[in-house]
Amino acid sequence: MNWYEKLNQYFPVDEMKSRAHMETLLADKGNVYIKDESPKHVLMYVEFENFIFVDYLFVSKEARGEGLGRRLLNKLKEKNKVILLEVEPINYDDTDSEKRLRFYAREEFKHATRIGYTRRSLATGENTVLEILYWSPTDEDESVIYEAMKWTYENIHTYKDQYFYGDSYDPSDEVLVFNDEGKKNMLNPY
């Protein structure tokens, strides 16, 4: 099974970029859009000057519990930059979502409680609420995380969207919102 098939089997369709989109990002933006893979994992991430965005992190079921996810994140943490990623809110009917959140909490990620993020899937047309988690070596303010996420959305997620999907994603100011008051921290119970 190739890297895209692994990701496509694990991630919901409304969170997946098309294979053509991802391959174009690797070709056109290969200096910042990076694929790290082995038979047991696929890590797709974007590395900019001041931060890293984890687009997809997949660890095979057979490798879970071996510390592979931790090693992959530690490799990124060694770059001493803010790391951010998107996750689905906890879904008690999906045990993977709870395990995923516990994993990121153990890895010292924080929930960006002041950032609202609702993205319309071009594959399904459905709105998907996502949450932003981040790790920071310097305890960055959430306004910095918001700007980094906005940059990622505008330069990676929506890259050539009209070409790949026949439609455009909504503008970033409709998708990402910075609130003065935070919402409940979904990592707090862990």
CATH number for the domain that contains residue 49: 3.40.630.30
The neighbouring-strand residues paired with 116 are 177
| Residue 31, domain member (yes or no) | yes
- Domain of residue 21: give its range: 3-178
| Residue 184, domain member (yes or no) | no
For residue 139, pLDDT over 60 is answered with: yes
| Residue 118, domain member (yes or no) | yes
Would you say the pTM of this structure is higher than 0.85? yes
Percent of the chain with pLDDT over 90: 76
For residue 151, pLDDT over 80 is answered with: yes
Give helix then strand counts, H and E, for the chain.
7, 9
100, 51 contact by CB (below 8 A): no
Backbone phi, psi, residue 9, to 5°: -75, -25
Give the C-alpha distances (Å, rounded to integers) separating 74 from 4, 63, 97, 190: 23, 17, 21, 20
| Residue 187, domain member (yes or no) | no
Q: How many domains does the chain have?
A: 1
Long-range contact pairs involving 101-104 (C-beta distance under 8 Å, separation at least 24): 101/186, 101/187, 101/190, 102/190, 103/69, 104/133, 104/187
For residue 189, pLDDT over 70 is answered with: no
Average pLDDT, the chain: 93
186, 104 contact by CB (below 8 A): no
